[in-house]
Structure 1
Amino acid sequence: MKKTFTLTHPKLKPARLVDAIKYEIKKYFKRERNKQLPTGADYWAFDCRFGTSEAEAEQVFPSDINKQIDAAVAQGATEFYVEIIAKAAEYGARPTIIEDEQD
């Protein structure tokens, strides 16, 4: 998903528009997570970018997108850009901890 959302609408109040945008993003995450994983992959990881425009977008964690939206609304932004790219990922091997027995 690469999309610029506008925060102005002639009929909708800004608070309802923000809720609709958050719901659309949540729905996109769910749709991508439900897709069939390629062989050898364990889960879907997401590369996310957020900014006032595509050129100014910075990397953010998926869990921080709603906070970024709220911050943009608080600053009075009229639009913002969200980019979410799904990629298949594998869990890394856990490091083994060797405990020395000392008496």
Structure 2
Amino acid sequence: MRKTFSLAIEGKNRDRLLDAAKHDIRKYLKRERRRDLPAGVDFWDFDCRFGLTQETAERVHLGSLIDSVNAAAAAGADSFYVEILAAHGVRKPREPGSAPDADSVHFGEDD
């Protein structure tokens, strides 16, 4: 998905255009995640870019994409560019003998 979303269309409410843009982004991600995985692939990963224009778009993490959209809208931007490309994700196995950090694991009350 490579798209420039406009937030300044005459006769349309800016907040509704913002909500529609976020809905389109989430709908695209949901549709891509439903696709069948190729052999040897564990999950769908996404390469995302965000900017006010296509030329100024910078790489962002998928988890912060909606936050970037909200920040651009709060700053008064009239449009923004979003690029989301699906990529193959493969989980890396843990090394033998490595365990989760003992400080982060809690099984009960401290005595």
- In the superposition, the TM-score normalised over structure 2's length comes to 0.84
Name which of structure 1's ranges 38-47 and 7-16 shifts more when overlaid on structure 2.
7-16
Q: Is it true that 1:5 corresponds to 2:5 in the alignment?
A: yes
Does residue 39 in structure 1 map to residue 9 in structure 2?
no
Alignment partners' CA distance in 1, 2:87 and 2:27:
17
> Comparing 34-43 with 2-11, which one deviates more in the overlay?
2-11
Q: CA deviation at 1:38?
A: 0.5
Query: Match for residue 65 of structure 2?
Result: 65
The number of aligned residues is 99
Deviations for 1:48-101, whole angstroms, at most 9, x for unmatched residues? 0000111110110111111101110111111110000001111011123369xx
1:58 maps to amino acid: E
Distance 1:38 1:55 in 2: 32
Q: What is the distance in 2 between the residues matched to 1:95 and 1:12? A: 55
Partner Cα separation in structure 2 for residue 12 and residue 95 of structure 1:
55
Q: Distance in 1 between matches of 2:16 and 2:40?
A: 41
Corresponding residue for 2:86? 86
Q: Give the Cα separation in 1 of the matches to 2:98 and 2:24.
A: 47
Structure 1, unaligned runs of 5 or more:
none
Hey, which bits of structure 1, 4+ residues long, moved more than 6 A?
none
Residue deviations 1:8-66 (CA, integer Å, cap 9, x gap): 12232111110110000000000000001100001000000000111110110111111
